[in-house]
Amino acid sequence: MGCFTLLFIWGIVMTLATGGARLSGMSFGVQFFSFLLAWSIWSSLNSYLARKGSSHREDDPATSYSNPFASRTSPMEQALLAGQHQLALFFASARLGAHGARADGRIENEEIGAIGAYFSSLGWPQQSLGLLMVDLRHFVNLDDDETALTEAAHVVRRSVSSPSELEAVAFMVSMVACADGVLRRSEKHALEQIRLLLGLTAMQMDGALKSARASFRSARGGRAPQASTNTDHLETLGLSPGASQPEIRKAYLDLARKYHPDKVEHMGEEFRTAAEERFKSIQAAYEALRATGSSAAS
């Protein structure tokens, strides 16, 4: 509200105070009092409109998150500022996974859409999914890829406090990297870079990737020839062709204990949903191998 509005309010106050008398016939005291009253009304209106606008921006998710480029603040950064560390960890993990797709150059909207479609097919929380899409679009439009990658890795390292939490992040990273169904050589190189940044062992990263691929195949309902399918199932359990049924059962029980969703429940709904997918892929692999008997390992 500008000066013209203030003068207009003052004119109304003066008219009411004097009953339409001429300004020249009014005492200085009356004029001064009228101006103070007009100023008070003008200031109150300004404050009210400012509070209303601020409240609208805070309460409206579309205003807060849908256009992060306007404020140059991404959903991940907003989550960190708001102390929402679980959500920030989710965004950071997804950014690391998306880094692989960016290894070939600029990631396209179709690839981000594939990530969204895949997670949607898993029954992902829609609010988290919408914010994820916004954050990934912000991430892939950043000019300094290496700095953004290092910052995301820093958020992860600062947020996790146990090997099981770090492996949950590795699986989330792998799910995003595998979301389009293709893992290119450049993406494998990028994931190796991420593995080193996070301090994961090669075995941990490999296990996360195998489970992510199994989850993707299950979500797509794909069918492969029996021998190939059994090999995939053995890989999911961390076994090689030729494994016996007792070895298969032992591997299943070990993995079921290690990756039970309850172990990451404190990390938030997003990581629990991912853990449930990993657990289901482990169960499905074991059931398939048990159903085929000893021939499964050949």
pLDDT value of position 155: 95
For residues 207 and 142, which has the higher predicted lDDT (pLDDT)?
207
pLDDT tens readout for residues 134-191: 998 888 887 777 888 899 999 999 999 888 899 999 999 988 888 777 777 878 888 8
CB 208 within 8 A of CB 239: no
By the 10 Å C-beta count (0-12 exposed, 13-18 middle, 19+ buried), 157 is classed as middle
Length of the chain: 298
**Residue 269: count of CB within 10 angstroms of its CB:** 15
Confirm whether pTM is higher than 0.85. no
SS3 of the chain: the string is CCHHHHHHHHHHHHHHHHCCCCHHHCCHHHHHHHHHHHHHHHHHHHHHHHHHHHHHHHHCHHHHHCCHHHHCCCHHHHHHHCCCHHHHHHHHHHHHHHHHHHCCCCCCHHHHHHHHHHHHHCCCCHHHHHHHHHHHHHHHCCCCHHHHHHHHHHHHHHHCCCHHHHHHHHHHHHHHHCCCCCCCHHHHHHHHHHHHHHCCCHHHHHHHHHHHHHHHHHHHCCCCCHHHHHHHHHHHCCCCCCCCHHHHHHHHHHHHHHCCHHHHHHHCHHHHHHHHHHHHHHHHHHHHHHHHHHHHHC
Q: Which amino acid is at 91?
A: F
Contacts of the segment 55-60: beta carbons below 8 A, 24+ positions apart: none
pLDDT of residue 183: 77
Write the pLDDT tens digit of every residue in 51-77: 544 443 333 333 333 444 344 678 899
> Domain residue spans in the chain?
1-13+27-48, 74-297
**Single-letter amino acid code for the residue at 185:** R
Identify the band that residue 226 occupies on the pLDDT scale cut at 50, 70 and 90: very low
The answer to whether residues 267 and 165 touch, using CB atoms and an 8 Å cutoff, is yes
CA-nearest of 166, 115, 151, 156 to 136 is 115
